[in-house]
Amino acid sequence: MASSYQNYANIPSAIISDGILPIPIWAVTTMKLTETYHLPPIGSTGAKAIVGVHDDTIDLTGVLVGMERFAWKLALETLAESSKRGTALGSFTGGKVSGLILITAMTIRTDMQIQSLTFTASTTKREALDVTIQLAYMPLPGALGKLLDLASVGVGALMDAGGN
Question: pLDDT tens digit string along 39-91?
Answer: 766 666 655 555 556 688 999 999 988 888 999 999 999 989 887 777 766 66
Res. 113: pLDDT tops 60 = yes
The dihedrals phi and psi of 12, each to the nearest 5 degrees, come to -65, 155
Which of 27-31, 49-53, 78-82, 149-153 is predicted least confidently? 49-53
Classify residue 164: in a domain, yes or no: no
Res. 158: pLDDT tops 80 = no
Classify residue 163: in a domain, yes or no: no
Classify residue 148: in a domain, yes or no: yes
Q: Are 88 and 125 in contact (CB under 8 A)?
A: no
d(CA 78, CA 87): 11
Instruction: Give the Å distances, CA to CA, from 63 to 41, 92, 156, 162.
Output: 42, 31, 24, 27
d(CA 100, CA 19): 7
10 falls in which pLDDT band (50, 70, 90)? confident
How many folded domains does the chain comprise? 1
Whole-model pTM: value is 0.74
Between residues 88 and 108, the one the model is more confident about: 108
Classify residue 43: in a domain, yes or no: no
Classify residue 8: in a domain, yes or no: no
Give the domain range for residue 29: 14-35+54-156
